[in-house]
A and B are shown apart, each in its own frame.
Chain A
Amino acid sequence: MHVNVGGLCPTMIVVGGKGVRSGFLFKCLVGTMAVVGAGGCGGGGNSNVLGGVASMAYISQDAVEPGNVFDYTNGGAHGNIFTLTPPTASGAKKNLTNWDNASINSMDVSFDAREIVFSAKAPGDSNYHVYRVNVDGSNPCDAVTGVVSQGACQITDGGNDEVYPIYLPGGRIYYATNKNVEGAEVPQFRDEYERATTAQAASMSLDGSDQVLGPRNVSHRVSPALLPDGRILTTEWRHLGDTNEGDLVTMNQDLTGVRESFGREGKSVANSHLRATWAAPGRLVAIGTSRDRTFQAGALVLIDQGGTDITTQSEARSSEIVLTPDVPLDRSPSFVGVGRYYDVRTIDYGKMKFLVSWSDGTVETETLTAAKASPDFGIYVYDANSKTRTPVVNEIGTWEFGAIPIAVRAEPPALKNSFVATNNGSGTTASTLLSAINVYDSTMFNLTPGSAVKLRLSEGFSSEEGAPNMFGLSDFDGMSLLGETDIQNDGSYKALVPPNVPVRQQLIDKYGMAVTTTGQGGDTASEPLWIQGRPGEARVCGGCHEDRTKSIQLTPGSSALQALGAAAFDYPGQTRQQRQSTDYTPGNVRGVPWDKALQPIFDAKCVSCHNGQAGPANPSYSITFGDMSTFAWTFDLTGRSVDVMVEKSTYTYSASHISLLGPAQLTREKTILAQTGQLIGYVEPGSAHDSTLIQKLNPMRRYPDVDGNDLAFPGKPQHPADVGGTPLTADEYYLMILMADNGGQFYSRENIKGY
């Protein structure tokens, strides 16, 4: 239904102060109602709320619960793309797609404003694919061959999804897909919860040919936008350990050079930022919200990237302000007159005017569903100065979102990675080169020069390789050691790693543990961050989270850019499945399967005392839960399979794993009524240094050579030698430390079922 409100609109909508509109959800399609901040609702005013832009495009489809902010396959039904020309109440509305039951994911308008690229699940289709349509509704693919036809043309097909397409310079399209760059037979990563298949970066030509699949994050990359300087901005689901948030990253058009943009240094006020777009030099607008339950909607936020261009931008100096201060940043229900915003584009930054999709009232899934209601997103112009909204289009019974002015915009320059890693002189390598000029150069960590002796590189993966739903009693995903390389005297390092693979870097000390430090980065120099590169890409940084504004001079041919002399952790010719331990000695160990790599150590040196028999060596505890059920446990380092009511224990965890990892999980149960004994998390996943187990074992110096007289925790006893037991060997310490630093998982590639 096309409603021309005019005099029907009961009053203006004002947020945060004067003239607050109350009440009910009303429907407006008003282009002439530009009475903002002056009270009342009436005609007159600017005849074009988009500042003279002739037309705009938007998506209309049914209401839906779309899932968390990263979900891309739960779009609403009955989706179509419309243009409104001019974008006023009297404008002509044209349906470009004319589908009877499609789901539209998102769209973009070309630089010349002649066509639209979009992702949709067409009627009867199983997947989202990419389509193009001219803004006049004609078929651009046929037009190339001289055929005149109407409707969208499809440029991708197959059994994968292709979503979030945007135009790139040079006749290309960026999009996200769950197709795996590693090949058809290798399952794509699953998300943080080991559930949804992740969407990864990709690009292709306008006609759907020449597809390029980018290096992968461990989880999704969604809702991209192109910045005027040519970089791609996208939201990345960041999870490593208990980190779980949606942050902004940028990358080059050739999918190289993925770099943090915003959200990773404690600057953000919301868990996730999505649908970010450019607002002004060094400024982005985005939706800031909870990860879930808000219909992927939230507050409007303005992000200062810390500088006006890439040479001065630094997430360390970034900040954000909330443009809609009454809108909750978490998942609590929003109020009438406040609502939540689904997307945003800048109309006039100087005047702080934005084209948004907004729904009034409660925009929170639980509350609305209980009331048997849905949010009603419509398109508005938001004035951040006056905190007012001017309706543009809002149809009864459907959502309108994704609005884009159909206007010519400058085509940014094509950007490519300027670095190419080379091998030892025999040609370009297909691996990725990681290197740093000086690891002690950091804005996040206070690192003592000389404290790091090696850099540990590990690859990440998820349960698609055949692991059960969890890798163990910790929040960490699968991790597998690629190798450890020396930190040179000047603080530099370089190493080749497999391309397209998410890699974690950890500085390690002379005891083999992740380096302890102070500073805003945490107490270990192990930022919870995955990095990755394309084949042949060199990822060179100044330091470990160095000042991004500092100029790093690298001359062509610089040794830092060459693979010459780099540690070879790239395993050429091996699939990721094949990167497994040949044995569990240093140099050969990759994953640390608990039952195969660690249990033999417990059996040989621990279980003679720590055998589950209650006593001084085996403390007990019990917990009474809210439902009056109880759980009792006695410390036990044997490898017996335990099927007890530690809720996740049915994955055949050993008693030793439950003893060392289990208590930390139990303390998270919020219905504990009472407990006896002490619950100790003996392993702090991700930090050997902070793990009680490692502190008790008190490892000896490992680098540059083994020294049993130099202990990691001076003055403390070394267990089990302190009670007459057989000391652990240096290699056994190595395995214990690697297990703790890499997450404390029970499962790794070496012991997962399914292979």
Chain B
Amino acid sequence: MTTKTIKTTLTCALLGLSMLCAPLAHAGIDGSSSKIETAIASGSVDAIVAELERSENIPQRGAYDAVLKLIDHPSARVREAVGWWVGRRGLRQTVINTAALRLAAQDPIAAANVLDALRGMRDITTLDLVAAYMAHPLDETSGIAGLRCISAIGAPQGLDTIKVSLGSSLAGVRAEALRTARGLRAPVGQKVLTTGASFVPLLSDADEGVRREAALTLGFLGQSGLNSDATTSGLNALVTALGQDSSAKVRRAAAWSIGEMGNIAGLDALKAAEKDKDSTVRSIATAAAGRIH
């Protein structure tokens, strides 16, 4: 019992304030199997996630079967929390085995669900499993789920899968691959991404969402000085997108990313964009220009 709990309990007992003095939460040791099962029965996403979190550090063996069934819960929040929960227990390999079977089968919903669970588990040993699936994802939803799993794991080894996914025929997968690229963790003293050159062509993608994510990824890299100088294609490509892309969402992202790069060479383009026909592009261009000194 923490000092705070002891003090509060004593104070409440002395004052007779049992109605007012609620038990204070501990970090993951307040739950029980029965509470988990009751939450599951209610169908409440919040209650299920809360009870799993509250039993973070308690084995809760009695709830194993019920929790495992949640891998196919309608809510991705629950599926992700289930992966997190089982990953801390002896169930981890059970879920990995399930994932291997599902990802080798032909049911995209089953695949997406188990990938959400793996995302919560964040087990680096599942990277190969996910990467194999991402070579030929069954559909866009499961492909996105696979990439989010790689992003959650964050290991730099996921970069190969991202590169493959950038060439996917599924626009949502290409866009998610760009987001995932921003989520990888660099090894000590290194960078995961050493150039943004491979992302520049995606600024010409047919899909608006892909172009927007490409712009944001170039801005992300530009914060670290990659492709952000006036002689490299990253900044120039963003300037072109800001001036010419038909989508306001893309122009807005391009403006923001030029600001992220912070290079004065991008300032003229931002000033010009302050007269864009879209008011959101105008305001973001102003914000971005104000960040270039």
Contact = CB atoms under 8 A, between A and B. Distances in A.
A242 B185 contact: no
Contacts of B182: 159, 184
B282 A142 contact: yes
Contacts of A158: 216, 219, 253, 256-257, 260
Interface in B74-91: 77, 80-81, 84, 87-90
A109 interface: no
Contacts of B56: 193
Contact of A210 (B39, B53, B121, B291): B291
Interface stretch (A360-368, A557-565, A696-704, A716-724): A360-368
A755 interface: yes
Given A155-B287, A245-B24, A293-B47, A666 B59 contact: yes
Given A187-B154, A244-B27, A370-B41, A159 B50 contact: no
Nearest to B8: A266
Interface string B123-148: 11000000000000000000000000
A550 interface: no
Contacts of A670: 32-33, 58
Contacts of B188: 575, 577-578, 580, 755
A211 B256 CA distance: 13
Contact of A183 (B124, B216, B224, B286): B224
Given A159-B220, A185-B224, A648-B89, A153 B22 contact: no
B93 interface: yes
B191 interface: yes
A187 B183 contact: yes
Interface string A643-655: 0111111110000
B44 A368 contact: yes
A295 B46 CA distance: 8
A208 B287 contact: yes
B3 A520 contact: yes
B14 interface: no
A195 B42 contact: no
A326 to B, nearest CB: 8
B16 interface: no
Interface stretch (A221-229, A487-495, A625-633): A625-633
A705 B188 CA distance: 36
Contacts of A156: 256, 284, 287
Nearest to B65: A627
B61 A671 contact: yes
B22 A328 contact: yes
Nearest to B21: A269
Contacts of A166: none
Which one of B28, B46, B60, B154 has the greatest number of beta carbons of chain A within 10 Å? B46
B81 A292 contact: no
B47 A626 contact: no
Interface stretch (A52-60, A343-351, A465-473, A590-598): A465-473
A715 interface: no
B290 interface: yes
Contacts of A425: none
Nearest to A626: B62
Contacts of A521: 3
A154 interface: yes
A641 interface: no
Contact of B42 (A194, A367, A465): A367
Which of B4, B21, B60, B155 has the most chain A CB atoms inside 10 A of its CB?
Answer: B4
Contacts of A575: 188
B46 A266 contact: no
A463 B89 CA distance: 17
B105 interface: no
Interface in B144-158: 153-155
Q: Interface size class for chain A?
A: 35 or more
A370 B290 contact: no
A293 to B, nearest CB: 5
Contacts of B60: 647, 669, 671
B291 A647 contact: no
Interface string B1-43: 0111001100110000101111111111100110000110111
B279 A153 contact: yes
A271 interface: yes
A211 B284 contact: no
B198 to A, nearest CB: 17
Interface string A664-677: 01101111000000
B2 to A, nearest CB: 6
Interface string A239-261: 10111110000000000000000
Contact of B121 (A193, A469, A626): A469
Contacts of B259: 209
A507 to B, nearest CB: 16
A754 B187 CA distance: 8
Given A65-B44, A671-B33, A193 B92 contact: no
A192 B287 contact: no
A470 B183 CA distance: 20
Given A141-B283, A293-B47, A269 B22 contact: yes
Interface string A435-474: 0000000000000000000000000000111101110000
Contacts of A239: 27
A417 interface: no
B177 interface: no
A149 interface: yes
Contacts of A126: 179
B57 interface: yes
A207 interface: yes
A468 B123 contact: yes
A290 interface: yes
Interface string A326-342: 00111100000000000
B280 interface: yes
Contacts of B233: none
Nearest to A520: B7
B122 A469 contact: yes
B93 A647 contact: no
B154 A208 contact: no
A470 B88 contact: yes
Contacts of A141: 279, 282-283, 286
Interface string A143-178: 001010101011111110000000000000000000
Contacts of A271: 22, 24-25
Interface string B111-127: 00000000011111000
25 contacts: A141-B279, A153-B282, A155-B286, A185-B186, A185-B192, A194-B84, A205-B290, A208-B283, A242-B26, A243-B27, A245-B25, A290-B22, A365-B46, A369-B43, A369-B44, A464-B185, A475-B28, A520-B3, A522-B3, A577-B187, A625-B59, A646-B90, A666-B59, A668-B57, A755-B188
Given A292-B53, A627-B61, 11 more contacts: A65-B45, A158-B256, A184-B223, A192-B28, A242-B2, A242-B29, A325-B20, A365-B46, A369-B45, A648-B57, A669-B59
Interface of A: 65-68, 74, 124, 126, 139, 141-142, 145, 147, 149, 151, 153-159, 183-185, 187, 192-195, 205, 207-211, 239, 241-245, 266, 268-271, 290-293, 295, 322, 325, 328-331, 365-370, 463-466, 468-470, 475, 520-523, 575, 577-578, 580, 625-627, 629, 644-651, 665-666, 668-671, 753-755
